[in-house]
Amino acid sequence: MRTLVAAASLATGVLLLAGCTSPTSPNSDPQVVTPAASPSAEAKIEPEITSEPKAPVIDKGIATADATEQQLVYLIEEEKLAHDVYSAMFDLWGSRVFGNILNSEQSHQSQVLTVMDTRDIADPRSAKTGVFVNAELQSLYNELIAKGSKSAIDAYEVGIAIEELDIDDITKMLATAKDADVISMMENLRRGSENHLRAFNNQL
C-alpha cells in the first residue's frame, strides 16, 4: 500500500512539474488561444443602400431655356391642381366661391398652354381629375382633398393654401424671367391668385 501511495504522489508531482492540470479539476482554467484571422475572414464592407431615385426638382428661379420649360410644365399642372381641388370642394360644399374661381383656374391653364404652344412644349396634363405627372403635386392634391373634405372652413383654408403657394411660386419664377410673353402671362396669373386669396379670406 505504501508503494502505491508513493507512486501516485510521484506521478502527481511529475504532472505538476510539466505544467499540466487535470482536465476534470474544478479549479482548472485553461487558456483559450484565439487563432489568427485569415485574410479571407476579414470583415467585408457592405455596399451602401441608396434610396429610390426621386423626381427632378423644379428650380423656380432660373432663367435658362430648359428651366423655363420645366417651370411652364410645372405651372400648368399647378393650375390644374387648383382647378381639380376647387371642383371637388364645390361638389362637397356647394359654396359659390369655389364655383366662381373654378372657371378662372381653367382660364389660367389656357394662358399657360398658349405660351407652351409657342415653344412646342408638350402638355403634361392628364385628362383625369386629380391625376398629376409631378409626384409633388400629386401628393399635395391628396393632402388638400383630405383636409378640405372635413368641413367648409377647412375647404376655405385649402383654397387659401393653394393661392398662397401659387403666388409664391410665380413670384420666384418672375424674379429671373426674361421673355415678355412669359412675364405677361405670369403677372396675370399672380393677379388672379391674389384676387382668389382675398375671396377665400373673406369666407372666414
Q: What is the pTM of this model?
A: 0.69
| Ranges of H-type helices in the chain | 2-17, 65-93, 96-117, 135-148, 152-174, 180-201
- At a CB cut-off of 8 Å and minimum separation 6, what does 182 contact? 68, 72, 115
* Closest-CA residue to 163 (of 133, 122, 115, 203): 203
Q: What is the pLDDT, as a whole number, of residue 62?
A: 45
HSE of 202, CA atoms in CB hemisphere, 13 A = 10
The fold for domain 65-201 equals Ferritin (1.20.1260)
pLDDT greater at residue 33 or residue 185: 185
Q: Which pLDDT band, with edges at 50, 70 and 90, does 5 fall under?
A: very low
Length of the chain: 204
Spans of all domains in the chain: 65-201
